[in-house]
Structures are given as C-alpha cells and as structure tokens.
Amino acid sequence: MSLTKTSLLVVMGLIVSPLWAQPASKQVEIIESSRESVSEQAAQWGLTEAQWQEYLMIMSDRRGIWSPGLDPITALGVSAETAAERKHYAELYVRTEFERTRKELAFQLAVDNAWTRLYPETPRIGSPSSARVAVRGASRYALIVTPECDECSSLLSERIHEMLSEATEGVDVHVVGTAGDDDLLRRWISTQPALIAALKTGRATVNHGSQFQDLARFPAIYSKSGSGKWTREL
C-alpha cells in the first residue's frame, strides 16, 4: 500500500532528530551535557576543548587509518605545524607518561607486597632470581633507594649506566625518606656522581618516593617490558 502525502509527512515527523524534537529547555540541557562531556574528556588529557576537537578531526582523517587508537597527545604532537606546538605536546606527553608509569609501578609494588603477605611460602613465576634474564632489553627501569642506604648508592653507581644503555625509555630513581623535601633530595643527588652524569643525558629522573615507603627492602630495581608489565629484578 502506497503512502499518501499526508502519511509520508507523519512518518518523516516521527524520525526527525530527537534533539530538535525536544522542548527548548531540554535542548539546552542536552547541549550543555554534551559540552561538559567534551570538557571532561579534554581535561583528562590536559587539553582544551578546542584541542580535543582538533584531535577528533585528526583521527577522522588519514591519521585515524594509519594509527587507529592513537592517544590524543601523540596525535596532536605528530600533527603539530610549529616547533612551539611540538614542544608543548612533547612536554605534556612526558608528564602524562611519567605519572602513568609512577602509578603502574606503585600498584605493582602493592601486588608484590600482597603476594608476600598472603602466600609467603609460594614461589612466583618470574621471581627476582629469574627476572634478570627475562627482562633483558627492558623499556624502562625504576631504581628505589633511601638516602641513608650505602648499598643503594653502590648499586646506583654500578648499574645506572648499564640500565640506561638497555632501557629505551630511560631510568627513574625514586628516593624514599625525603618527606617531599626538595633541598634534602638535591643534597643527596650531589653525593651521587654517577646519577648526576645520568641526569645530564636527559634519560634519567629523580623523584620523591614516598609512595614506596612500605617496601620491605632497599634498594629495589623494577624493569618494564615492552608489553608494559613491571617485574621486580632485585
């Protein structure tokens, strides 16, 4: 049965955009909700709404085919047109990546402590004794030390150059026991010539390590594989 002109108009009216079929007050509410969502997504990556919209445009073009699932900061960085933009996104990427690494490592330490507490007599696959061979060629290292630990200083001096040569992403040194005191951290760094030399390469960082204060033994070395998994090496 064919549709009459009147019935066709009725059908078209039923499939009209839900947004504009709403009362004016409801339209405003939906638009504001959408803006909040964009703002929240952008803020999660340290971006403005305009930068987030630019990211969406980039990923809707060839970049989305070349690199599906590419994160917003990298997408904006590789698409930047000026040196200033590239510098901005590079620094944002480093800060974001460092924070992600810090949280992942802190969680892995908590997992290790939980295993020791809950199953003290049960050995783990990939234990520290076997990790050295397994993680050769790690993407990143984390060395956790305390200022008063002589063994920590010796290990840092002996191993940091080796770790730097192996790690594609660099080495992070976390110092436990500084209570967030930058002057104390600087004084400790000044007594570590090997670390000072590593810092000058730009591939090592030094950080307050309060989140690792529950670690049972120092020093500790963790390495991250290419898959992103952290393994305790020492």
Is 160 found in the same domain as 209? yes
**Domain for residue 216, yes or no?**
yes
Domain count within the chain:
2
**Domain for residue 10, yes or no?**
no
In CATH, what number is assigned to the domain containing residue 162?
3.40.30
Domain hosting residue 154, numbered range: 101-118+127-232
Is 110 found in the same domain as 192? yes
Please tell me the distance from the alpha carbon of residue 96 to that of residue 102, in angstroms, as a whole number: 10
Is 48 found in the same domain as 114? no
User: pLDDT value at position 103?
Assistant: 86
Kindly report, residue by residue over 19-40, the tens digit of the pLDDT: 444 455 444 444 444 556 888 8
**Domain for residue 113, yes or no?**
yes
Is 108 found in the same domain as 211? yes
Is 109 found in the same domain as 210? yes
Is 175 found in the same domain as 144? yes
Is 106 found in the same domain as 193? yes
47, 96 contact by CB (below 8 A):
no
Task: Mark 95-129 as b/e (b = at least 16 C-beta within 10 Å).
Answer: ebeeeebbebbbebbeebeeeeeeeeeeeeeeeee
**Domain for residue 83, yes or no?**
no
**Domain for residue 57, yes or no?**
yes
Is 74 found in the same domain as 113? no
Is 112 found in the same domain as 72? no
Sequence letter at residue 94: V
**Domain for residue 84, yes or no?**
no
**Domain for residue 193, yes or no?**
yes
pLDDT above 90 as % of the chain: 28
Is 215 found in the same domain as 112? yes
Kindly report, residue by residue over 94-112, the tens digit of the pLDDT: 888 888 888 888 888 888 8
- Residue 88 pLDDT > 90, yes or no? yes
Cα–Cα nearest to 142, from 113, 101, 171:
171
Sequence letter at residue 46: G
Is 38 found in the same domain as 153? no
**Domain for residue 89, yes or no?**
no
User: pLDDT value at position 28?
Assistant: 45
Which is higher by pLDDT, 202 or 216? 202
